[in-house]
C-alpha cells in the first residue's frame, strides 16, 4: 500500500486557454503525459463544466492508472490548475514516473507560480 502522492497548485498559467477549457484536448495531453512518464492508463473521464456568472467553465480530467491515478482540475477564470498524481509502489517504485508526469503537466500549463506538495502514503509510523 506504500506510494507517493504528489499535488501541485498552478497559478497564473500562461498556456493557451484551450488547455483550460477544452476537455477533449486536455484529455489527449493527459494521455500523452501518462504515456511519456511510463505509466499505464486503464480508464479515463474528461468533463467540461458549463460557463457561469463567474466566467467560463473549467475541466476535470481523470485518468485511472494501473499504478493509481491522475486528476487535473482547471479554473480558467483564475488561470489556475490543480494537479494530483498518486502512484502505488507495490512491486516497483514508480516515484520517478510520478515526478515526470507532474513535471510534464506543469510545463504544459506554464504557470508563473507553483506550490508543490509531496506525501509518502502507507508508511507505518515507528512504534514508541
Rama region for 55: left / alpha / beta (φ>0; ψ in -120 to 50; rest): left
Q: Is the pLDDT of residue 90 over 90?
A: no
Under DSSP, is residue 37 helix (H, G, I), strand (E, B) or coil? helix
Helix axes 95-109, 23-37, angle to 10 degrees: 140
Query: In this structure, are residues 7 and 38 in contact, taking their beta carbons and an 8 Å threshold?
Result: no
How far apart, in whole angstroms, are the C-alpha atoms of residue 51 and residue 49?
7
pLDDT tens per residue, range 41-74:
999 999 999 998 888 999 999 999 999 999 999 9
Residues classed as catalytic: 68, 73, 88
Q: Output the pLDDT for position 128.
A: 61
Which sequence spans correspond to the domains of the chain? 6-121
Mean pLDDT of 29-45: 98
State the pTM of this model.
Answer: 0.92
The CATH code of the domain at 6-121 is 3.60.90.10
Amino acid at each position: 500500500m506504500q506510494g507517493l502522492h504528489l499535488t501541485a497548485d498552478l497559478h497564473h498559467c500562461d498556456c493557451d486557454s484551450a488547455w483550460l477549457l477544452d476537455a477533449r484536448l486536455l484529455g489527449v495531453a493527459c494521455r500523452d503525459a501518462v504515456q511519456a512518464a511510463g505509466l499505464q492508463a486503464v480508464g479515463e473521464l474528461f468533463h467540461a463544466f458549463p460557463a457561469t456568472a463567474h466566467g467560463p467553465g473549467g475541466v476535470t480530467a481523470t485518468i485511472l492508472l494501473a499504478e493509481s491515478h491522475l486528476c487535473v482540475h482547471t479554473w480558467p477564470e483564475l488561470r489556475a490548475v490543480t494537479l494530483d498524481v498518486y502512484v502505488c509502489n507495490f512491486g516497483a517504485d514508480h516515484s520517478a514516473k510520478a515526478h515526470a508526469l507532474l513535471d510534464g503537466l506543469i510545463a504544459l500549463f506554464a504557470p508563473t507560480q507553483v506550490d508543490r506538495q509531496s506525501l509518502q502514503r502507507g508508511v507505518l509510523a515507528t512504534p514508541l
